[in-house]
Amino acid sequence: LQSIYHDETRQIKKRLFDIAFSSAALLCLSPVFLIVSLLIKVKSPNGPIFFGHQRIGKDGKFFRVYKFRTMVPDAEKRLKELLDKDEETRKEFE
């Protein structure tokens, strides 16, 4: 049996499908994304619409992830302050 990981034709076909499906999904969902963006801005006019942070991916490489912001604008600062002053919470978080 030949593994699909070594079959270049299958990998190319899958990559093309992924790109085509993702593009179609983004196009279809863009009105929803626009509405969500507007609602976030109305609810919290001084904060950003998107939140970005790093995650670890394949082979231990870091990559940046973006998502709609669902927390207070200074959530990372508040978390750091909480972890600095509450050892029990810091241990649980770690």
Mean pLDDT score of the chain: 90
Compute the distance between CA of residue 40 and CA of residue 32 in angstroms, rounded to an integer. Answer: 12
Cα angle: 61, vertex 94, 79; to 5 degrees: 95
Look at residue 39 and tell me whether its pLDDT is greater than 70.
Answer: yes
pLDDT band at 43 (very low <50, low <70, confident <90, very high): very high
pLDDT band at 1 (very low <50, low <70, confident <90, very high): low
Instruction: Please give the share of the chain, as a percent, with pLDDT higher than 90.
Output: 53
Residue where the block lists tokens 């750091």: 80
pLDDT band at 64 (very low <50, low <70, confident <90, very high): very high
Maximum Cα interatomic distance, the chain, rounded to a whole number of Å? 57
